[in-house]
Amino acid sequence: MRIDDRPVDSYARCGRTRMVAPDLQLYDELTGIENLRFFSSMSGCHLSAERASYLLASVGLMGRGNDFYGEYSSGMKARLKLAVAVAADPEILLLDEPTTNLDEAGRAIVHSVIEHRRNRGIVIFATNDQSEFQLGGQVVRLG
């Protein structure tokens, strides 16, 4: 499979693809901002203080960046994972059950991020939630 005449696996190797899934883990002993900075640096990106603040605000974690990830609720953890994934401005964003463990406010935040990302690249998400089918530009049902 190819995207823009490049093999799909080159997107993963070059850091152009990011994924969010319930089973992915961040570091409990790091703060939210430290997790953002660490994972950004791992993909070769510098994360400015302004960008970090913007990302935290965009997922509803403004003012919580200095709290340890291990102290976050499950919904806060899910939203920080999303911020980490979009920090590098990936061309392809893969989301597996992106609203798992989220209340209505958290779901609205994820939906907003998905809508914003769709205008910047490709968003592929897997969901069992019928209400989320409206978010997809092209819906493929499996099974």
In terms of residue numbers, what domain contains 111? 2-135
| CA-derived radius of gyration, the chain | 15
Within 8 A by CB and 6+ apart from 137, the residues are: 118
Residue 141 lies in a domain: no
Q: Can you give the pLDDT of all 143 residues of the chain as single tens digits?
A: 555 665 655 444 446 888 998 888 999 999 999 999 999 998 888 889 999 999 999 999 999 999 999 999 999 999 999 999 999 888 899 999 888 888 999 999 988 988 888 888 888 888 877 766 666 555 445 55
> Do the domain assignments include residue 17?
yes
Residue 18's DSSP bridge partners are 93
**For residue 92, what are its two tokens?**
């392809």
> What CATH code is carried by the domain that includes residue 13?
3.40.50.300
The structure's pTM equals 0.82
> What's the domain count of the chain?
1
- What does DSSP assign to residue 79? H
